């Protein structure tokens, strides 16, 4: 469910008709400037499906993350999500080979944006029941009074036959939930084994209105074999994570990654399509905080 925030103005009249104006101190930024650090880890190169995890430093939590494949076009990102367990708190990425396959060793990089937990920090998870439909989607909503600062998604049991997209249900730059979607590409048949779609909403409570924003940018809609786009936060905001609102079915996402490792302000996105694929576009979302 999308939520629109409205600001209310309070006026008070003093005794004897004298107007008294009390100026309140400005609220501190929810995520202090310069406090976000990005950690990244590259997996070993091999031919097999693989997962790669990177943890935040002690005392910090994941606000969002990114992923990058290296070494082949026929690789599908099937998991990119926050994780917290006995091993720590961080972000995990899983990549699987599609039905066409690869012939050379490949690797995956995982990125996580870390900071001290903002007010009301939580990760809400929603998982759909198993299905064999050619597409499925699920929405994870933040608790009342909280907004999204990062997105995550996961395909469980898809075996490289389905592409994953995930992103916030934003309205006017504000989001209260994250949706994840699975859909078969143009070269695969409908799944024969049951799979599940999971969505992860990284949420917190803002100190000020519009401390959390969602910004989207997209490429032109044409038949280019490879597409790249950069999505940048407004001035005064930091990037906490990336999300993908659309990739042409059959075109695989290559990466969504932060531009720098200290206080990033943008994310870069890239995807590729096979020869003769047809018209498609790539849309990249960045979560921005202040």
Of the candidates 213, 256, 288, the one whose C-alpha atom is nearest the C-alpha of residue 36 is 288
pLDDT, residue 34, reads 85
pLDDT, residue 286, reads 97
Helix (H, G, I), strand (E, B) or coil at 16: helix
Q: Which helix (H) or strand (E) holds 197?
A: strand 196-204
DSSP 195: B
- pLDDT per residue, tens digit, the chain (290 aa), is 333 222 332 333 333 333 333 444 457 789 988 889 999 999 999 999 999 999 999 999 999 999 999 987 789 999 999 999 999 999 999 999 988 888 899 999 999 999 999 999 999 999 999 999 989 999 999 999 999 999 999 999 988 888 899 999 988 899 999 999 998 765 556 677 899 999 999 999 999 999 999 999 999 999 898 999 999 999 999 999 999 877 766 678 999 999 887 789 999 999 988 777 788 889 999 999 99
CB atoms near residue 234 (< 10 Å): 12
The whole-angstrom separation of Cα 66 and Cα 240 is: 10
pLDDT, residue 260, reads 82
Of the candidates 90, 82, 79, the one whose C-alpha atom is nearest the C-alpha of residue 51 is 79
Which domains can be identified in the chain, with CATH numbers?
A: 29-289 (2.60.120.690)
The whole-angstrom separation of Cα 92 and Cα 67 is: 9
What is the phi/psi pair of residue 205, to 5°?
-105, 130
CB atoms near residue 287 (< 10 Å): 32
pLDDT, residue 17, reads 36
Give tens-digit pLDDT for 225-274: 899 999 999 999 999 999 987 776 667 899 999 988 778 999 999 998 87
Our CA angle for 126, 243, 62, nearest 5°, is 70
pLDDT, residue 274, reads 76
């Amino acid at each position: 469910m999308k939520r629109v925030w409205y600001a209310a103005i309070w006026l008070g009249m003093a005794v004897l008709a004298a107007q008294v104006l009390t100026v309140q101190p400005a609220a501190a930024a929810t995520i202090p400037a310069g406090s976000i650090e990005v950690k990244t880890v590259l997996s070993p190169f091999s031919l097999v499906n693989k997962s790669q995890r990177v943890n935040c430093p002690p005392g910090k939590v994941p606000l969002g993350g990114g992923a990058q494949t290296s070494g082949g076009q026929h690789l599908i990102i099937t998991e990119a999500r926050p994780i917290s367990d006995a091993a720590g708190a961080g972000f995990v990425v899983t990549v699987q080979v599609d039905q066409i396959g690869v012939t050379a060793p490949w690797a995956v990089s995982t990125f996580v944006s870390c900071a001290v937990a903002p007010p009301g920090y939580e990760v809400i998870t929603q998982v759909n029941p198993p299905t064999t439909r050619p597409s499925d989607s699920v929405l994870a909503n933040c608790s009342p009074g909280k907004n999204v600062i990062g997105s995550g998604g996961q395909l469980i049991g898809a075996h490289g036959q389905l592409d994953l997209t995930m992103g916030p249900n934003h309205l006017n730059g504000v989001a209260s939930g994250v949706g994840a979607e699975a859909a078969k590409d143009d070269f695969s048949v409908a799944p024969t084994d049951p799979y599940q779609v999971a969505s992860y909403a990284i949420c917190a409570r803002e100190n000020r209105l519009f401390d959390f924003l969602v910004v989207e940018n997209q490429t032109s809609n044409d038949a280019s074999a490879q597409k790249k786009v950069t999505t940048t936060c407004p001035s005064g905001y930091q990037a906490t994570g990336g999300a993908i609102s659309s990739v042409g079915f059959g075109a695989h996402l290559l990466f969504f990654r932060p531009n720098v490792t200290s206080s990033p302000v943008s994310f870069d996105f890239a995807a590729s399509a096979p020869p003769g694929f047809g018209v498609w576009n790539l849309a990249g979302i960045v979560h921005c905080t202040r």
